[in-house]
Amino acid sequence: MQAVVEREVLLERRQYTTEQSSLWDKLSLAQKFAASSLTQFGYDIAFIRNSQASGSLAILLCDGNAATINDEGEINTSPGITIRP
């Protein structure tokens, strides 16, 4: 019974809003793989920043902590950025 309850919680947690789904569609394949691994630790995609110099940067949040993923799928869990409330 406990396993069924835990499975239900995981399934419910994996359902994304339409905004999050739209953001996932904008990620590169490498970013999707990296983001998928971070979601296992409770991170959710918050937004994506694009610049001509550095490309696409996905920002994920978990309990007020930010993580970034660049175009190549490299994860930075200490990005040194400030997220406004």
Instruction: Determine the pLDDT at residue 60.
Output: 96
Range of the structural domain that residue 29 is part of = 17-76
Query: Domains in the chain: how many in total?
Result: 1
| Sequential pLDDT tens for the chain (85 residues) | 666 555 555 544 444 455 677 889 999 999 999 999 999 999 999 999 998 887 899 999 999 899 999 999 999 999 998 888 7
Instruction: Determine the pLDDT at residue 6.
Output: 58
> DSSP 3-state assignment of 48?
strand
Single-letter amino acid code for the residue at 43: Y
Dihedrals φ, ψ of 34, to 5°?
Answer: -65, -45
Structural contact between residues 23 and 43, judged by C-beta atoms closer than 8 angstroms: no
In a domain, 68, yes or no: yes
Structural contact between residues 83 and 57, judged by C-beta atoms closer than 8 angstroms: no
Q: How far apart are CA 51 and CA 57, in angstroms?
A: 8
In a domain, 11, yes or no: no
